[in-house]
Structure 1
Amino acid sequence: MNVPDATDRIRAAFADAGVTGWLHALDLDSGAQLDVGADQPVCTASVHKLCLLVALHERAAAGHLDLTEAVDCPPDGRTPGPTGLAAMLDTARLSLRDLAYLMMTVSDNAAADLLLDRVGLETVNRTTARLGLDATRAVESFGAMLAGVRQDAGPAGARALADPHVIARLRALDPARSNRSTPRDMTRLLRAVWRDEACTPEHGAAIRRVMGLQVWPHRLASGFPFDDVHVAGKTGSLPTLRNEVGVVEYPDGGRYAVAVFTRTAHTAAVLPAADAVIGTAARIAVDALHHR
């Protein structure tokens, strides 16, 4: 399979699933790549938690914080969400590294904002700038992003998110006003993590480990249903938006970073085809690079 064939198949897969999609895939060792709108600015949603994780470990590697430091997590004022601390009712006490585990494996918004309080938005941005991710920018916390969605939705609340006119005014879906990146920037970040260029080897290994523990199998991992292929990733979701970035590792040593970002006109919260096409597109891209 040559790259033009692969890019045509990826575009066809996006169209069949009813999404607009952008993708970048990168062989971490040879540098070979595949591009389907890879420089399009996109809203990262919870994918930006990867940038926060790298900044957290960079600070720890520099001795500015201890990942075993315990943090109290009272229920009052927690960032809302359906998973992890965000969905819990009682006070918890967790280390920074265990908060990072919840942030990455189940995309816990409350854990992410507790870490962001400790690290700071500008530290996240300095980290991405140091790594040359010029199109990547954190502009708000995850709680602020969700609060903006609620405000923009108006008094009808979540029910209004079924209305395309309401969706069109959500600031969280505008890359100019929300946490943002590009598919190419995200594969560059993944390459830096997997090649120990983002952090020390010890901290790089910790980042790779926690990314490999993500529980969601319905997007990127769905394209690689093999016991001997390892997928480590981070999803991101907002109304009409489904993303995932990650690294696919083959038993022959091949390592491929993939970033897939999608938007759909459908406002339904559950769209299995839109989730599955992330794995389909990633598989087409990785197969093309793997067989070069």
Structure 2
Amino acid sequence: MLDELAATGARVSVHVRDLDRDSVVLAGDDHVTQPIGALGVVPLLIEVAARFDDGSVDPLEIVERGDADAAGASGLWRHLAAPALPLRDVAVLAASAGDARAANLLLERVGLEAVHRRITEIGLARAAVLDRFRDERGPDDAPHFALGSAKELAEVFAALVNTTLVSAAVSAQVAEWLCLNHDLSLVAAATGLDPFAHDDDDHGLLFINKTGRDRGVRAEAGVLAGPRAGVAYALVVCFDDLSIMHRLRAHEAFRTLGVDLMEYVF
């Protein structure tokens, strides 16, 4: 399915790594840097968790929602009555609901430069958070929120579940936030998990993920582990979003990968 999608002109990057054997299961153009949409929130969450852990930022610090730089329609906070929340809850909104306003406030609190330094420190040579979320991007704005490569994104998720990313405490905190992610519509569609309660599955399935969406961009990275094996994966597809069929074809590639991964771990 991925080869067929690439044959239509889409740019496809994929990396799947067996967590137990530390071996590559599947790779294709996984070194290529591409737009990743809100998947770029992961390095931001890592920086926020590190600040919480070292005490330089108080997780109970209250921040005002405001306009949050006109972040667009994504997320839940704009629908809530609460005009302010503690930073810990803001991080939960950014991780679980893809809330652009929440992500912008976190980025404003820790600073873009700090996120850049954290990206360098954890060894991401092909990743960058370029800007905050915006309703519209003008000629003077960065063209994308974030960039990344499939290989590095999969490695980040592997490090999270192995508790080796920054520290055990930081890895556990970020993994806990990402366990709450509601978007199970792409690779995760094959898991059969409840989008709103999948952090303790009855069938012993361990799953964390984060997705990214933009016009002509779909991206997902995560960890899927079952009784037979565990994998860290990332898939990024950039395509011409000319019709609903172009979009559905891209989505189907994610779901096909999800079926293959489920067969691998079970």
TM-score by length of 2: 0.84
- 1:185 equivalent to 2:174? Answer no
1:169-217 Cα shifts (integer Å, max 9, x gaps): x9636xxxx6211101101211221111113323322211221211122
Question: Which deviates more, 218-227 or 230-239?
Answer: 218-227
Q: What is the match of residue 99 of structure 1?
A: 90
Q: What is the match of residue 172 of structure 1?
A: 143
- Secondary structure of the residue aligned to 1:235 is strand
- Secondary structure of the residue aligned to 2:185 is coil
Aligned CA RMSD, in angstroms, stands at 2.7
Q: Which of the residues 50, 53, 62 maps onto 2:54? A: 62
Alignment CA distance shift 1:256-1:17 (3 Å):
farther
Q: What is the match of residue 5 of structure 1?
A: none
Q: What is the match of residue 147 of structure 1?
A: 136
Does structure 1 retain, via aligned residues, the 8 Å contact 2:68–2:101?
no
- 1:28 equivalent to 2:19? Answer yes
| In structure 1, C-alpha distance between the alignment counterparts of 2:51 and 2:68, rounded to whole Å | 28
Please list every run of 5 or more consecutive structure 1 residues that lacks an aligned counterpart in the other structure.
1-8, 153-169
Letter in 1 for 2:241: H
| Offset of residue 76 of structure 1 | 7.1
| Offset of residue 97 of structure 1 | 1.6
Alignment CA distance shift 1:10-1:48 (3 Å):
same
| In structure 1, C-alpha distance between the alignment counterparts of 2:54 and 2:216, rounded to whole Å | 39
Q: What is the match of residue 6 of structure 1?
A: none
Q: What percent of counterpart residues are identical?
A: 21
| In structure 2, C-alpha distance between the alignment counterparts of 1:56 and 1:121, rounded to whole Å | 11
1:87-141 Cα shifts (integer Å, max 9, x gaps): 3375522111211111111111000000001111111111111111111112211
Q: What is the match of residue 116 of structure 2?
A: 125
Alignment CA distance shift 1:171-1:59 (3 Å):
closer
| In structure 2, C-alpha distance between the alignment counterparts of 1:66 and 1:101, rounded to whole Å | 15
| In structure 1, C-alpha distance between the alignment counterparts of 2:211 and 2:8, rounded to whole Å | 18
Q: What is the match of residue 115 of structure 1?
A: 106
Letter in 1 for 2:236: F
Specify which structure has the higher proportion of helix.
1
Alignment CA distance shift 1:112-1:268 (3 Å):
farther
| In structure 2, C-alpha distance between the alignment counterparts of 1:82 and 1:147, rounded to whole Å | 13
TM-score by length of 1: 0.77
Please list every run of 5 or more consecutive structure 2 residues that lacks an aligned counterpart in the other structure.
194-200
1:200-248 Cα shifts (integer Å, max 9, x gaps): 3233222112212111221021133366333211111111111111111
Alignment CA distance shift 1:214-1:17 (3 Å):
farther
Alignment CA distance shift 1:193-1:81 (3 Å):
same
Q: What is the match of residue 45 of structure 1?
A: 37
| In structure 2, C-alpha distance between the alignment counterparts of 1:42 and 1:248, rounded to whole Å | 23
Letter in 1 for 2:42: L
Q: Which has the larger radius of gyration?
A: 1
- 1:265 equivalent to 2:247? Answer no
Alignment CA distance shift 1:222-1:18 (3 Å):
farther
| In structure 2, C-alpha distance between the alignment counterparts of 1:188 and 1:52, rounded to whole Å | 16
| In structure 2, C-alpha distance between the alignment counterparts of 1:180 and 1:77, rounded to whole Å | 20
| Offset of residue 74 of structure 1 | 2.6
- Secondary structure of the residue aligned to 1:81 is coil
| In structure 2, C-alpha distance between the alignment counterparts of 1:267 and 1:15, rounded to whole Å | 16
